[in-house]
Structure formats: structure tokens, C-alpha cells
């Protein structure tokens, strides 16, 4: 009985294999052929299709993502000028109130500390000045421009807001072989009012030209 059952199963499997592979077509037995060539012809670049992960697909629940907004930025900078005396600041303040938006500027009481320098000079002429500058460079010392024209032609080896700091620097340059330097007060402490323009853009710069007479020759510089 078992042998008969095995034989029946073997014959059934053989027949199913022959049927699915079209070996019985000549006898009228074959599976239905699923073929729709017209749909294949309608496909548009199927090779570029890809599966979208679930997390990415959720982004499209409310439609495709919007293009990023283009934000227009305006470049501004803080400018300052001064110092102004009380009488100069009074005239300038009236002009600012009539020409610039409120809150765009300020006049502040300010104290600028004195400027002490490690000084070398005066020299007889520009040739002697250039020779000394070359010697200092060979010693590895940096030379700064002078603010005070009264000290020229001369050289500064560093500027400081306190005399004691300038004295300490002088001791260092002496150890490096400099013998004729000394500490000098190049610019004394100054008190007055400082003008600040907080956010100057291209349109505001055009209005600043009208303020030049009230700036008393003081240049506008980047705030520090």
C-alpha cells in the first residue's frame, strides 16, 4: 500500500512539472500565459525607479517638500567717530536728531586712556631713520607707526595705555641690545563724547556725507 502511495505522488509531481513547463501543450494541457505587451510599452524609464523608505515617504503625506525660501540679507556695520567737545557734540546732536532715525545712533561720554610708547628718535633725516629701522628688524623687533607728528622722524617699539607697562617693555628691548630707547607719552588722556552709528547700511551711508561738517574732520571708523 505504501509503495502504491509513493508511486502516485511521483506520477503527480512528474505530471505537474510537465504541465507547468509546457511539455503537455501538444496534448492540450498548459497553464494560462499572462502577457500584456502593451503595458510594457507604456512604461517610462523603469530602470530609474527606486523604493522609498517609510520615513522618507511620510514627508510626502502633505505633498512634496516646498523649495527653501530665499532670505535677503543686508550687510551693516557699526561706525564711530570722536572724541567731540561738549559744544561740538551739542551741534552734532541736533543734526543727528533731524536726519537719522531714533535709536540708530548715540553720543556717549568717553575717556580715552593715554598712549605711552617705547620711543626711539628723533633722527636727523629719513636715511638715518631707515638705517635704524633695518637694525631693529635684524634684532627681531617690530616697529609701529607714530601717531604724533611732533615725535617724527622717530620709531615706536610698542604702545601701551599705562606707563608701567611701557617701562616693562623697555626693559625687555634693552636686554636685546637696544640702548637709546625711552618711554614717552605720545598722546595724553582725552575726555569727550563718542559718536556711534550702530547699524550703517548702504542707504544710510549716503546720508552720512551731509554730516561731514559736524564731524569736525574726525573720520568714521569701525567700532572697537
Per-residue pLDDT tens digits for 87-124: 999 999 999 999 888 889 999 999 999 999 999 999 99
Whole-number pLDDT of residue 28: 60
| CA–centroid distance for 67 within its chain | 25
The reported pLDDT for the residue numbered 40 is: 54
At residue 37, the pLDDT reads 55
pLDDT at 224: 83
**Residue ranges per structural domain of the chain:** 77-112+190-222, 115-187
Q: Which of 115, 112, 111, 106 is nearest to 80 (CA)?
A: 106
What average pLDDT does the structure give for the chain? 82
CB 148 within 8 A of CB 186: yes
Backbone CA torsion sign across 39, 45, 50, 52: negative
Do 77-112+190-222 and 115-187 share a fold?
yes
Contacts for 196 with CB less than 8 Å, ≥ 6 apart: 78, 79, 80, 105, 106, 107, 108, 223
Contacts of 205 (CB under 8 A, 6+ apart): none
Look up the CATH architecture of domain 115-187. 2-Layer Sandwich (3.30)
What's the CATH fold of domain 77-112+190-222?
Answer: Alpha-Beta Plaits (3.30.70)
Amino acid at each position: 500500500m505504501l509503495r502504491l502511495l509513493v508511486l502516485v505522488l511521483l506520477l503527480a509531481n512528474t505530471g505537474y512539472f510537465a504541465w507547468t513547463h509546457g511539455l503537455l501543450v501538444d496534448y492540450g494541457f498548459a497553464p494560462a500565459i499572462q502577457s500584456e505587451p502593451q503595458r510594457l510599452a507604456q512604461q517610462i524609464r523603469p530602470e530609474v525607479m527606486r523604493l522609498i523608505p517609510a520615513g522618507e515617504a511620510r514627508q510626502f503625506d502633505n505633498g512634496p517638500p516646498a523649495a527653501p525660501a530665499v532670505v535677503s540679507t543686508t550687510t551693516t556695520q557699526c561706525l564711530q567717530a570722536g572724541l567731540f567737545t561738549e559744544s561740538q557734540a551739542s551741534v552734532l546732536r541736533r543734526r543727528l536728531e533731524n536726519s537719522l532715525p531714533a535709536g540708530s545712533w548715540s553720543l556717549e561720554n568717553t575717556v580715552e586712556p593715554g598712549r605711552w610708547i617705547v620711543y626711539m628718535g628723533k633722527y636727523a633725516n629719513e636715511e638715518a631713520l631707515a638705517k635704524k629701522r633695518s637694525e631693529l628688524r635684524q634684532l627681531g623687533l617690530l616697529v609701529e607707526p607714530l601717531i604724533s607728528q611732533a615725535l617724527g622722524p622717530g620709531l615706536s617699539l610698542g604702545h601701551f595705555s599705562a606707563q608701567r607697562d611701557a617701562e616693562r617693555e623697555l626693559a625687555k628691548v634693552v636686554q636685546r641690545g637696544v640702548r637709546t630707547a625711552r618711554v614717552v607719552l605720545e598722546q595724553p588722556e582725552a575726555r569727550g563724547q563718542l559718536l556711534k552709528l550702530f547699524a550703517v547700511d548702504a542707504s544710510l551711508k549716503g546720508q552720512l556725507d551731509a554730516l561731514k561738517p559736524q564731524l569736525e574732520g574726525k573720520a568714521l571708523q569701525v567700532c572697537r
